[in-house]
Amino acid sequence: PLVLGIETSCDETGIGIVRGSTLLSNTIASSMDEHARYGGVVPEVAARAHLEALQPTIEAAVAEAGITLDEIDAVAVTSGPGLAGALMVGIGAAKALAVSLDKPLYAVNHLVGHIAADLLTGEDVEYPTIALLVSGGHTSLLLVRDLVSDVELLGETLDDAAGEAFDKVARILGLPYPGGPEIDRAAATGDPAAIRFPRGLSKASDLAEHRYDFSFSGLKTAVARWVEQDAARQAESGDAPAIPVPDVAASFREAVVDVLVTKALDACARYGVPRLLLGGGVIANRRLREVALERAAAAGVAVRIPPLSLCTDNGAMIAALAAQLIMSGHRPSTLAFGADSTLPVTEIQVDEVEAG
Ligand code: ATP
Ligand code: MG
Ligand code: FE
């Protein structure tokens, strides 16, 4: 089926068009720059930006795919999780488009969409797989037995998301938003072993008790405290205080990466699943990719990393998930659904029309 997907859960307006598992276009407008001066995504600003970007982004995606709108078989949209106001803008547009074209509408889960992105790489995809999704909004470890029917949440962050931790630590170090790329760059010339920062919820006892949940706020606090104490030390010895940014960045990055990879591979071992899929914007992190590939190879786990344009929020992954739902016989969603900012990952499709 030819599906147009709409994604507006955060700060990317993503429109994607797929035919089955073949990617035809993936067009994105981001309001990232508008949020930069606030140091993080501002929900009202994101919602307004989606409203302005939707129409031109749909037109661009349709043109790039070389189709006309009336050719599509279905419309797909993210119904959650995400920012409620941002989600509602995409949902409104999707409903209007589906009604005006008289096409079925599929309301789907954003997190499961991230997993569906892997289908668009053109390579064979096998389940079950463990999936690690890390972005500015989520840090989730999933066991995917079947994309359209069986996704289990193994753990998620109890406080900050991994990308959020990068953004907050960047601010402590005086680096601009978004902090992930800045810290990655600064870390390149730093020593990852310079400072031993805490690995939240990663002791053997934590692993037993918290299973696969994550916590990054303690790490952020540890970095802030270290920087403060180091400044005091420098002042005492009569130096003008300067943060050793490369060493702090490298040591912080190492702690985040260590936790993420340790837990993901522990899940692969515990569930006997020799496959690990990585998704979300933090996958851009060079050290994360490096350590994941290294340690997975040693553990006999195959790692899949889709191209970054499919790892960050996009509409193509939403369309790809809906195409799978259609091909496996799922009915469309009713028009009654709304935005669900805390939609659980087990709800792969929302508000499916009942049979009969
Ligand atoms: P979500 O996908 O949860 O809805 P989002 O829009 O914040 O939210 P993405 O756009 O996928 O998420 O990713 C943005 C996040 O990724 C930011 O927090 C950013 O700092 C982080 N990030 C980007 N590049 C890197 C990098 N090289 N290393 C670490 N983090 C990175
Ligand atoms: Mg984003
Ligand atoms: Fe996302």
Single-letter code of the amino acid located at 104: P
Write out the residues surrounding ion ligand 2, Cβ under 5 A.
10-12
> What atom in ligand 1 is closest to the CA of residue 10?
4
Closest to 23 measured CA to CA, from 96, 123, 108? 123
**Terminal-to-terminal C-alpha distance of the chain:** 23
pLDDT at 319: 99
State pLDDT tens for residues 175-215. Answer: 999 999 999 999 999 999 999 999 999 888 887 776 899 99
State pLDDT tens for residues 123-166. Answer: 999 999 999 999 999 999 999 999 999 999 999 999 999 999 99
Distance from the Cα of residue 335 to its chain's centroid: 26
Average pLDDT over all residues of the chain: 96
State pLDDT tens for residues 12-65. Answer: 999 999 999 999 999 999 988 899 888 889 999 999 999 999 999 999 999 999
240 C-beta neighbours (distance < 10 Å), count: 6
Higher pLDDT, 338 or 33: 338
Interface pTM, i.e. ipTM = 0.97
pLDDT at 225: 98
Mutate to test the pocket of ligand 1, among 33, 133, 282, 291 (most ligand atoms within 8 A of CB): 282
Annotated binding residue 133: yes
Longest dimension (CA), the chain: 80
